[in-house]
A and B are shown apart, each in its own frame.
Chain A
Amino acid sequence: MTIREIRFEWALEGKRPGGHDDYELLSWSDGRLGPEVFEEIRSRYATGVSADLPQVTIAVAATKEREQVSRHIVLAIQEWSGHRDVTNRKIAYTRWFYVPYEELAAHRVSYEALYLALAGLPATPSPPLAVPVPEFDPTALDPGPDARCAAALLLTGRPVCVVGADGVPVIERLRFLDTVAALLPYGMRARLTAATWTSSTARHRIRLSFARHAPEDAYEVRWGYGTEITRQDGTAKVCLDLLTRSEVRLADMLRGLAGLTDPLSFGPADRPVAVRLLEHSGYPEVLSATDVRREPERSGPEGQRAGSSGGEAGSATGHGRALPGSGEPGFRGHEPVSAGRGGDTPMAGAAAPTRSLRKRRPTVPGRSLWRRLGRGSGDASAVLPPGTAPGTPSNPSNPSSPTTPPITHTTTGTTATTPYRRTPAEGPVAGTMPPSMQAALGGLEQADRGKRSQLRLGSQAKLTVTVAFATLAITLIGVGTVALLRSPGGDPRAGAETAGTEPGTIVVLAPARREDAFATNVVAEVVRRAGYRFDIRYPPAGAPTGEPAVVLVDDPGPDSALPGELQVRPANPLTAQGFSEAATITVPGRDVVVYDIDQIRPEQLRAAFEHPGKEVGVSLPDSSREGLEQVLKQRYPWLRLETVPASDPLRALRSRTVQAAIVPRDIARDSGYQRLDAFGGLLNRSLLVLCNQAGGCAVRDALAKVARSIDPVGLASAEFDSPGTAAARLVDSALPPSEAAPRPGEGESDRGQDSSWFALGLIGAGGVVGFLALLIGIRVPSRIRPRR
């Protein structure tokens, strides 16, 4: 195996240890290439950061200096540096190595060999900047279906992404990239960008990549399997057939491809050339004589661009400048088209390779490929049939395209463009019909006209049909309107509500406080069970007059459980509006008692509340409802009360200075302490339930019954933490289903919806029929006129 010395230049990207800046170029070689080139390339080929390093990216760079284009293969090795930044994040280094393409091509070096030679160098290599690299032996490769598919798909011009290789080591991935590249002419490495890892969520410019998920615009190839390529895939299918043909020895093909070192791009101009080279690669004697005539280069923008780049290249630094667009696939989106961003378009440097293939003359026909890429193959248009003179309209694959571009004739040193003209031999223009077809279609048209004329109506018939349609329309609309008006789902009539024959809506006016949600839910549930719908309103809405309503008001009297105080029944504030008291609903208090089971048993605690005995400490938050502390002191003067901050109401209990604590329900739920259930010793608020006459007796009675069933002692239990559920449960127990009235409200509502939709359907149908009547009246001719 021959070992060759390969020169290189380098740049180091990373962060300074302990630095607070983002990733940047830290150091670079002082060679022909300047930091602008390094900066441009590292920015263009960013692939994201992998958690699994090292990873390798293959990029390309072309620079132009004094009209001389030089190409570089860029090998970027991303690895952990062992340093950390100011936020203690690990710093990754990316070492960018720029190797002149001509040196690689002369020695046919593989990516893997290059990586192994460069990876061992220090982060900032010192001169002499050259490493020994063994020559590439392509015959040692054994391409699998995945590599063959990837190579075939790359020749379509779109990026290819390999998925399903999550656990595969980087060296094996790199070998795969080498294998795919070996299935293409070696010269395509001058433009091939590849990476052993790319972020699935980053939009990158790598043509052949590994990722967990393929980008949307890329072909997906599964590691070890490849992908299904069918005839619909055109060029890819042709290329895959070429790569899997049995009549050619694989070693011959790989050896032949490795010898084709003239730079080739993945653009539409060079891809057909690459396909032809691929076809001939198995036949060394044919390959040596094959003409791979490329499409004439576009002279205008590319040439101008090269010129401007050349001007830039003569900058003060004297360094070459990167020519963009050298390797990345064409990406959708709005890539800013700065000077020279060309995607796949060949750049000026590519137009004049050192050993121009264009100079050769065609000597060997390639008919088999021509047949494969013939009519119907999208990319075949760029392949010229053998023997065709340059400049002739030799594009029979797409003869009818109205957008055929002008053919560019290249002469010595000048370029002239002439418009393309169709020749009779190329057949008709798309959209025109041959005479025989025109005749056939003409006969059909005549027959169709005859049929249509038979369907024409007389004036009598027209009038009859119009009137019939109009009548039908009026009938449908009328019936629909009546049905809609009679629909029971509409707003209830006040009289019917009062009589109770047709249950409607009862307004429930409730306080907006969270702790009163229980009472509101109870009333709403009772109303619903009584067969009415409810409409809950909150202040500042006032008590409605003239419509059935239930109003919940605060019980302004003292707590009923407080001993020794006068029980005062509050005055009904809405008497003047016809509201009378229906019930008093006790609502669960906001606070409950929790205790430490390790310190005190529940029965002991209950006993401590009931009578003096063993001293028991109870803590209560400083934000407790006003008066709770006073009430507790009055009721249970023997208890030792300790006030704690509301932000941590369990503090005293945790520190074991008290045996029990009064805490809000939500704290009690998640506190991990036991709760003292069936305890009515704390303040329980009550709400007065007022009904007007329109509310009906059934609701009033049901409310009273439910309110009576509330046990104030049980309100402390966890069952009452969720007001909605607790209310439904309470009403269920107080009003068994047998007693509860059917729910006409809901049923009526649904039926009302159904019937109203039916009515609307009728009206709609009537409208359509009416429109038809109008059309018939206006558009249909009144006489049968024979047409010619």
Chain B
Amino acid sequence: MQPEVTRGRPDHNISMWGAPGSGKTTLLAALFIALTRRNDDWKIVGSDPASSDYLIERTNALSRGKVFPEASRALERYQWTLIGPPARRSGFWGRKAKAGPPTRIGINMIDAPGGLFGTGRRPAGGAPGGAGAPDGPGDSRRHELLDNLAESRGIVFLFDPIREFTFGDAFDHMHAPLTRLAERMLAAGEFGDGKLPHHIAVCVTKFDDPRVLETAEKRRLLTTDIDDPYHLPRVTSEDARELFHELCQVSASGNADMVLNALDQFFHPDRIRFFATSSIGFYVDRRTKTFDWDDFQNMLPGEADEDSRIRGQLHPINVVEPMLWLGQRLAAIRPATEAT
């Protein structure tokens, strides 16, 4: 009756990174729905019972309960496998190509409370630099978070433009962990070319918010997917960087542009990709089944003592794409042991 310690481990660690309330947990919760809404053959499966439970419960809570997940309090780890369409194998000596087994990308997703990315404000009266200081050596959760970031090669960085507009603290939640991460990678000899070895998917979240959508429209960055039956507006990855830049201009602190600079300084340009994401997507009337510019808000802010709720069906936008991009890039660099 020994404890089970030999379960198959996904090979690719991906960490979520973002300020509190930026939507890290909601984005993960919408993954299953987002994949199901796609017309391709990608699907997500839990690699252990706890991770499967999370998918099931979160999917039910979003799609039926219409409620957002609670804020994270601990470092949560989800082990999932992305299973995609089979890769075509070239036939022997130019003979007929055969379909190979399905593509499988194992990912180990780490979701940390957003406060751990902050500068670590010390509680009033605390001694400076002590073992118990939030950003000091004694904060075990920050240590664990940094360990995970150092082990990861994929990062999903969430930039919440609404929070940035209101509080302007995106840079505060980036520079401290980034500096410490660089310090670790330098010590580990993985900072040789002056860049971190990570791939980073920068997600501009809350694309469904009217302010973000209007910014994108004003900059003429909107497009629609020809295969999307609902004709939901989107911003392509190529234009998402411009949207990010544009949204930085309205930062409450004026520091948001430093986020962009820091990204360019610390990551290889070909390892950064921008996405304009919305975990819940736009509201689509079930009868018209088409996006309506006059009625697209899918989030119903709660009253005084009510949860914010989701108004209609979920149509996640660019939720899967960052994961698939990271998974495929990481798998191309270092194929997972369980990939076939």
Q: CB-defined interface of A558-598 with B at 8 Å, one 1/0 digit per residue?
A: 00000000000000000000000000000000000000000
Q: CB-defined interface of A215-239 with B at 8 Å, one 1/0 digit per residue?
A: 0111110000001111011001000
Contact of A216 with B74 at beta-carbon distance under 8 Å, contacts A339-B131, A752-B95 already known: no
A201 at the interface (CB under 8 A from B): yes
How far is the CB of B62 from the nearest CB of chain A, in Å?
14
How far is the CB of B217 from the nearest CB of chain A, in Å?
13
| Nearest neighbor of B77 in chain A, beta-carbon distance | A201
What is the predominant secondary structure among interface residues of chain A facing chain B?
loop
The answer to whether A324 and B71 touch across the interface, beta carbons within 8 angstroms, is: no
Task: Using C-beta atoms within 8 Å of the partner chain, give the interface range for chain A.
Answer: 35 or more
The answer to whether B301 and A35 touch across the interface, beta carbons within 8 angstroms, is: no
Q: Tell me, in angstroms, the Cα distance from A752 to B290 when the chains sit together.
A: 51
The answer to whether B78 and A201 touch across the interface, beta carbons within 8 angstroms, is: yes
Among B50, B54, B115, B289, the most chain A Cβ lie within 10 Å of the Cβ of B50
How far is the CB of B320 from the nearest CB of chain A, in Å?
20
Q: Tell me, in angstroms, the Cα distance from A731 to B115 when the chains sit together.
A: 64
B75 at the interface (CB under 8 A from A): yes
Q: CB-defined interface of B176-196 with A at 8 Å, one 1/0 digit per residue?
A: 000000000000000000000
The answer to whether A338 and B115 touch across the interface, beta carbons within 8 angstroms, is: no
A37 at the interface (CB under 8 A from B): yes
| Nearest neighbor of B61 in chain A, beta-carbon distance | A51
B288 at the interface (CB under 8 A from A): yes
Across the interface, which residues of B come within 8 angstroms of A743, CB to CB? none
Tell me the residues in window 46-74 of chain A with beta carbons closer than 8 Å to chain B beta carbons: 46-49, 51
Among B1, B53, B71, B308, the most chain A Cβ lie within 10 Å of the Cβ of B1
The answer to whether B288 and A654 touch across the interface, beta carbons within 8 angstroms, is: yes
How far is the CB of B232 from the nearest CB of chain A, in Å?
11
Partner of B123, one of A35, A86, A228: A35
A749 at the interface (CB under 8 A from B): yes
What is the predominant secondary structure among interface residues of chain B facing chain A?
loop
A626 at the interface (CB under 8 A from B): no
B36 at the interface (CB under 8 A from A): no
B287 at the interface (CB under 8 A from A): yes
The answer to whether B3 and A48 touch across the interface, beta carbons within 8 angstroms, is: no
B255 at the interface (CB under 8 A from A): no
The answer to whether B71 and A39 touch across the interface, beta carbons within 8 angstroms, is: no
B317 at the interface (CB under 8 A from A): no
Across the interface, which residues of B come within 8 angstroms of A229, CB to CB? 1
Q: Tell me, in angstroms, the Cα distance from A233 to B125 when the chains sit together.
A: 49
Tell me the residues in window 188-207 of chain A with beta carbons closer than 8 Å to chain B beta carbons: 199-204
The answer to whether B71 and A85 touch across the interface, beta carbons within 8 angstroms, is: yes
Segment touching B, from A125-133, A315-323, A432-440, A451-459 = A315-323
| Nearest neighbor of B147 in chain A, beta-carbon distance | A334
Tell me the residues in window 50-69 of chain B with beta carbons closer than 8 Å to chain A beta carbons: 50-51, 53-54, 68
Q: Tell me, in angstroms, the Cα distance from A51 to B118 when the chains sit together.
A: 25
The answer to whether A199 and B76 touch across the interface, beta carbons within 8 angstroms, is: yes
Q: Tell me, in angstroms, the Cα distance from A25 to B115 when the chains sit together.
A: 12
The answer to whether A213 and B126 touch across the interface, beta carbons within 8 angstroms, is: no
Q: Tell me, in angstroms, the Cα distance from A338 to B302 when the chains sit together.
A: 44
List 12 A-B pairs, Cβ < 8 Å.
Answer: A24-B115, A38-B123, A46-B75, A47-B74, A48-B72, A84-B302, A204-B74, A213-B49, A312-B130, A322-B131, A335-B143, A672-B289
5 nearest A-B pairs in the assembled complex, by CB-CB distance: A22-B115, A36-B132, A200-B50, A202-B74, A46-B74
Q: B: which residues have CB within 8 A of A?
A: 1-5, 7, 20-21, 48-51, 53-54, 68, 70-78, 92-96, 113-116, 118, 121-127, 130-134, 137-144, 147, 163, 166-167, 224, 229, 231, 287-292, 301-302, 305-308
Contacts A35-B122, A316-B127 known; 20 new A-B pairs at CB < 8 A = A20-B20, A23-B73, A39-B122, A39-B133, A48-B72, A48-B73, A84-B305, A88-B301, A199-B74, A201-B50, A201-B51, A201-B76, A203-B75, A216-B4, A233-B2, A317-B125, A336-B140, A338-B137, A490-B93, A749-B96
